[in-house]
A and B are shown apart, each in its own frame.
Chain A
Amino acid sequence: MSLLRAEGLEVSTTLDGRQARVLRDLTFSLQPGQILGLVGESGAGKSMIGRAIASDLPAGFAVSAGSLRYGHEDLVAMPRARRQGLLGREIAFIPQEPMASLNPVLTVRQQMDEHLRRIGVTDRLARARDLLAQVGLPEPDAVLQRYAHQLSGGMCQRVLIAMAFASDPKLVIADEPTTALDVTIQARVIKLIADLQARSGTGVLFITHDLRLAAQICDDVLVLYAGRPAERGPARALFKAPRHPYTASLHLAAPGMTGPRHVLLALPHQMPGLRQIAGMTGCRFAPRCPVVQADCTVTEPVMAAAGHGTACHHPDLAGQIATPEAAPIQPAAKRAPEVLRTSNLRRVFRSRGFFATSETVAVADADIVVHEGEFVGLVGESGSGKSTVARLVAGLDQPSSGQILLDGQRDMPRALRRRHVQMVFQDPQSALNPRHRVGDIVTQAMRVDGHSQPADRTARAAELLAQVGLSPEIAGRTPSQLSGGQRQRVNIARALCVVPKLLVADEIVSGLDVSVQAQLLDMLLELRERLGFAMLLISHDLAVVRYLCARVVVMHRGAIVEQGDTDAVFTAPQHDYTCTLLEAVPPD
Chain B
Amino acid sequence: MNAPWLRSGRVIAGAVLLLAVAVCAVAAPALAPHDPGDQDLLNILLPPSWMNGGDPSYPLGTDSLGRCVESRLLFGARTALEVAFFSALGAGLVGTILAHVAGYFGGAVDWVIGRAVDIWMSFPPVVLSLILMVGLGTGTDKVILAIILVDWTRFCRVLRSEVITVTRRDYVSAARLLGYSHWQTVTREILPATRPLLITLVSLEMGIAVVVEAILSFVGLGVGANQPAWGQMIADARQNVATSPLGLVLPMLAIFLCVAGFNLLGDGLRRALDSRQTAVRSA
Q: Footprint of B on A, CB under 8 Å?
A: 394-396, 414-415, 418, 421-423, 425-427, 430-436, 444-445, 447-448, 478, 480, 494-495, 497-498
How many residue-residue contacts, CB under 8 A, span A and B? 66
Inter-chain CA distance A419–B159, complex, in Å, is 33
Please determine whether B193 and A418 come into contact, CB atoms closer than 8 angstroms: no
Q: Indicate which residue in B174, B184, B193, B276 contacts A431 across the interface (CB closer than 8 Å).
A: B174
Inter-chain CA distance A435–B166, complex, in Å, is 12
B168 to chain A, nearest CB (A): 8
B175's nearest neighbour on chain A, judged by CB, is A444
Residues of chain B within 8 A (CB-CB) of A445 are 178-179
Residues 165 to 182 of chain B near chain A (Cβ within 8 Å): 169-171, 173-181
B160 to chain A, nearest CB (A): 20
Residues of chain A within 8 A (CB-CB) of B193 are 433, 435
Q: Indicate which residue in A396, A427, A434, A478 contacts B177 across the interface (CB closer than 8 Å).
A: A396
Residues of chain B within 8 A (CB-CB) of A426 are 170
B159 to chain A, nearest CB (A): 16
B192's nearest neighbour on chain A, judged by CB, is A435
Given contacts A418-B179, A445-B179, contact A494 B174 (CB under 8 A): yes
Given contacts A396-B177, A423-B173, A447-B184, 14 further A-B contacts (CB under 8 A): A394-B177, A396-B176, A414-B179, A415-B179, A418-B177, A422-B177, A425-B173, A427-B170, A431-B174, A433-B169, A433-B171, A433-B193, A444-B178, A448-B178
Inter-chain CA distance A423–B179, complex, in Å, is 12
Residues of chain A within 8 A (CB-CB) of B171 are 430-433
22 A-B residue pairings within 8 Å (CB atoms):
A394-B173, A394-B177, A415-B179, A418-B179, A422-B178, A423-B173, A423-B177, A425-B170, A425-B174, A431-B171, A433-B169, A433-B192, A434-B275, A436-B192, A444-B178, A445-B179, A448-B181, A448-B184, A480-B275, A480-B279, A497-B178, A498-B178
Tell me if B82 counts as interface (CB < 8 A to partner A). no
Tell me if B236 counts as interface (CB < 8 A to partner A). no
Please determine whether A448 and B170 come into contact, CB atoms closer than 8 angstroms: no
Residues of chain B within 8 A (CB-CB) of A447 are 184, 188
Inter-chain CA distance A480–B181, complex, in Å, is 26
Inter-chain CA distance A447–B174, complex, in Å, is 13
Residues of chain B within 8 A (CB-CB) of A498 are 178
Inter-chain CA distance A414–B175, complex, in Å, is 13
Tell me if B141 counts as interface (CB < 8 A to partner A). no
B62 to chain A, nearest CB (A): 54
B181 to chain A, nearest CB (A): 8
Please determine whether B179 and A448 come into contact, CB atoms closer than 8 angstroms: yes
A504's nearest neighbour on chain B, judged by CB, is B177
B190's nearest neighbour on chain A, judged by CB, is A433
A435's nearest neighbour on chain B, judged by CB, is B192
Q: Interface size of B by Cβ–Cβ distance < 8 Å? A: 21
Please determine whether A434 and B279 come into contact, CB atoms closer than 8 angstroms: yes
Inter-chain CA distance A425–B175, complex, in Å, is 12
A491 to chain B, nearest CB (A): 8
Interface residues as binary, B242-283 with A (CB distance below 8 Å gives 1, 0 otherwise): 000000000000000000000000000000000110010001
Q: Indicate which residue in B175, B179, B180, B275 contacts A435 across the interface (CB closer than 8 Å).
A: B275
B194 to chain A, nearest CB (A): 11
Q: Indicate which residue in B174, B180, B192, B276 contacts A423 across the interface (CB closer than 8 Å).
A: B174
Please determine whether A430 and B170 come into contact, CB atoms closer than 8 angstroms: yes
Inter-chain CA distance A423–B178, complex, in Å, is 9
A530 to chain B, nearest CB (A): 21
Interface residues as binary, B5-22 with A (CB distance below 8 Å gives 1, 0 otherwise): 000000000000000000
A428's nearest neighbour on chain B, judged by CB, is B170
Inter-chain CA distance A445–B179, complex, in Å, is 7
A193 to chain B, nearest CB (A): 34
Residues of chain B within 8 A (CB-CB) of A396 are 173, 176-177
Inter-chain CA distance A434–B283, complex, in Å, is 14
Tell me if B162 counts as interface (CB < 8 A to partner A). no
Inter-chain CA distance A497–B175, complex, in Å, is 12
A488 to chain B, nearest CB (A): 12
Given contacts A435-B192, A435-B193, A448-B184, contact A430 B169 (CB under 8 A): yes
Residues of chain B within 8 A (CB-CB) of A480 are 275-276, 279, 283
Residues of chain A within 8 A (CB-CB) of B177 are 394-396, 418, 421-423
B189's nearest neighbour on chain A, judged by CB, is A433
Inter-chain CA distance A498–B189, complex, in Å, is 19
A418 to chain B, nearest CB (A): 4
A123 to chain B, nearest CB (A): 47
Residues of chain A within 8 A (CB-CB) of B276 are 434, 480
Q: Which of B179, B188, B189, B275 has the most CB of A within 10 A?
A: B179
The 4 closest A-B CB pairs, nearest first, are: A425-B170, A431-B170, A480-B279, A418-B179
Residues of chain B within 8 A (CB-CB) of A448 are 178-181, 184
B163 to chain A, nearest CB (A): 14
Please determine whether A418 and B275 come into contact, CB atoms closer than 8 angstroms: no
B172 to chain A, nearest CB (A): 8
Residues of chain B within 8 A (CB-CB) of A433 are 169, 171, 189, 192-193
Inter-chain CA distance A586–B131, complex, in Å, is 73
Inter-chain CA distance A478–B275, complex, in Å, is 10
B152 to chain A, nearest CB (A): 25
Inter-chain CA distance A433–B175, complex, in Å, is 10
A454 to chain B, nearest CB (A): 15
Inter-chain CA distance A4–B257, complex, in Å, is 62
Q: Which of A415, A422, A448, A497 has the most CB of B within 10 A?
A: A448
Interface residues as binary, B196-207 with A (CB distance below 8 Å gives 1, 0 otherwise): 000000000000
Inter-chain CA distance A414–B178, complex, in Å, is 9
Residues of chain B within 8 A (CB-CB) of A394 are 173, 177
Inter-chain CA distance A530–B192, complex, in Å, is 36
Residues of chain A within 8 A (CB-CB) of B179 are 414-415, 418, 445, 448
Inter-chain CA distance A431–B169, complex, in Å, is 7
A440's nearest neighbour on chain B, judged by CB, is B188
B184's nearest neighbour on chain A, judged by CB, is A448
Inter-chain CA distance A494–B276, complex, in Å, is 22
B272 to chain A, nearest CB (A): 14
Inter-chain CA distance A427–B173, complex, in Å, is 12
Inter-chain CA distance A498–B175, complex, in Å, is 13
A419's nearest neighbour on chain B, judged by CB, is B179
Inter-chain CA distance A298–B179, complex, in Å, is 54
Residues of chain A within 8 A (CB-CB) of B283 are 480
A396's nearest neighbour on chain B, judged by CB, is B173
A434 to chain B, nearest CB (A): 6
B199 to chain A, nearest CB (A): 14
Residues of chain A within 8 A (CB-CB) of B184 are 447-448
Inter-chain CA distance A414–B188, complex, in Å, is 19
Residues of chain B within 8 A (CB-CB) of A418 are 177-179
B178 to chain A, nearest CB (A): 4
Residues of chain B within 8 A (CB-CB) of A495 are 174
B193's nearest neighbour on chain A, judged by CB, is A435
